[in-house]
Amino acid sequence: MYRLPLLLPIAALLAFAASGPFPDPAVDAPKAAAKTRAVAVFAGGCFWCTEAVFESVAGVEKVVSGYSGGKASDAQYKVVSEGRTQHAEAIEITYDTSKVTFGQLLKVFFAAAHDPTTLDRQGPDWGKQYRSAVFYNSDEQKKIVDAYVAQLGQAGVFKDKIVTQIVPLEKFYAAEGYHQDFVRNNPGHGYVMQNVPQKIKKLKTLTPELVKK
């Protein structure tokens, strides 16, 4: 995996600029009365990390690491990781809408999975392939994410401005097989050990009600 060397202490790189508690979305879809599957696509830096966070969320059934934002011919790790495409490293989340809402997934995304205030950067990783983005697949998803970003801004949750792109989903491309469930399969990997535990800690601390039992 092409990752830039760490130039700053890990704690500093992963300290989000939050200055207040994370509110629940004021605008959200209601939970379904019966089990119904839906899909959300988020980009928040290294997909190893974001995949690991959302695999720990109650109601999430499957998380696939991949690419979104670019062309099918460019959906290959080597060129994406070098910043030579329009793709972002992204994850496709399949979830049960009777157990978790799109708005609650957004809460996890902004509170624990990544820092939405750093442009084209997440922790030690730099480049547009690591940008923050929500790829909405319906008018309802766009309405909810637009409202939540505005809500977080008005509440002053972050010290800096949220730079997350909110763009329509054109296509999601699954990444190569060895990227799937990477954290689960490689718990001793140096990058994993340095970057993932802090995110899981944030998940459990800031959104404990959404963590799988």
Find out whether 67 and 79 touch, Cβ atoms under 8 Å. Answer: no
User: By C-alpha distance, which of 179, 116, 120, 173 is closest to 148?
Assistant: 116
Tokens 């092409």 label which residue? 2
Find out whether 129 and 87 touch, Cβ atoms under 8 Å. Answer: yes
* Tally of helices (H runs) and strands (E runs) in the chain: 7, 8
Those residues with Cβ within 8 angstroms of residue 82's Cβ, 6 or more apart along the chain or in another chain: 2
Name the catalytic one among 40, 46, 63, 144.
46
Those residues with Cβ within 8 angstroms of residue 205's Cβ, 6 or more apart along the chain or in another chain: none
Task: Indicate if 49 belongs to the active site.
Answer: no
Q: How far apart are CA 207 and CA 184, in angstroms?
A: 21
Q: How far apart are CA 72 and CA 69, in angstroms?
A: 10
Cα 182–Cα 120–Cα 197 angle in degrees, nearest 5: 35
Q: How far apart are CA 34 and CA 71, in angstroms?
A: 36
Catalytically active residues, by annotation:
46
